[in-house]
Structure 1
Amino acid sequence: MRPETDPTLTVRYFAGARAAAGVAEETVPAGPGLDDLLRDLADRHGDRLAAVLRAASYLVDGVSWHDRQTPLPAGTTVDVLPPFAGG
């Protein structure tokens, strides 16, 4: 985890999310909740990623994250995990 003075967080995309986003990871401003972050990512990358984000699961610093309203802390890493075939 980065120092708390870093006002950003890292988003890492896996499998189909990576293909839809066109990048493996990116740094974005910290602060919004997951719903707002996902809306921003969909606006940035388009409908293809938006569809993946609707079906994906999320980890924040390696822990399953279901709270979609609480602001995401600065310095964290959000993993975007689309459904995997056979799993």
Structure 2
Amino acid sequence: MQLTVRYFAGARAAAGRPEETASAGRSLDELVDELVARHGERLAVVLKAASFLVDGVACHDRRTPLPAGATVDVLPPFAGG
């Protein structure tokens, strides 16, 4: 059972890819740990400040299990105006 992780802006640059798959059924905190293990400290810095959407809805409870087939968007802080 998989989910899709999509990276935007600085998260995409830090991960070195626009998207990837990961195992579903774990929490967002556990997913973040896995992504940091895969991609290193550069992504860890971005993820500390990032917001996350799960199937287009802001995720505020980072301990809730992520469902199979979900799409998790990683949104770093955006600058500009």
TM bracket (short chain): over 0.9
Runs of 4+ in 1 over 6 A off after TM superposition: none
- Whole-Å separation in 2 of the counterparts to 1:86 and 1:59: 21
Structure 2 gap ranges (5+):
none
Deviations 1:30-71 (A, max 9, x none): 011000000100010000000000000000000000111111
TM value normalised by structure 1: 0.90
- Whole-Å separation in 2 of the counterparts to 1:32 and 1:86: 34
Aligned alpha-carbon RMSD (Å): 0.8
In structure 2, the residue corresponding to 1:58 is in which secondary structure? strand
Q: 1:66 aligns with which of 60, 63, 68?
A: 60
Flag the structure with larger Rg. 1
Number of residue pairs aligned between Structure 1 and Structure 2: 81
1:55 matched to 2:49: yes
Using the aligned pairs only, state the percent identity.
73
Structure 1 gap ranges (5+):
1-6
- Whole-Å separation in 2 of the counterparts to 1:31 and 1:37: 10
TM value normalised by structure 2: 0.97
Q: 1:43 aligns with which of 37, 48, 53?
A: 37
After superposition, residues 7-86 of structure 1 pair within 5 angstroms as: 7-86=1-80
Displacement after TM superposition at 1:86 (Å): 2.6
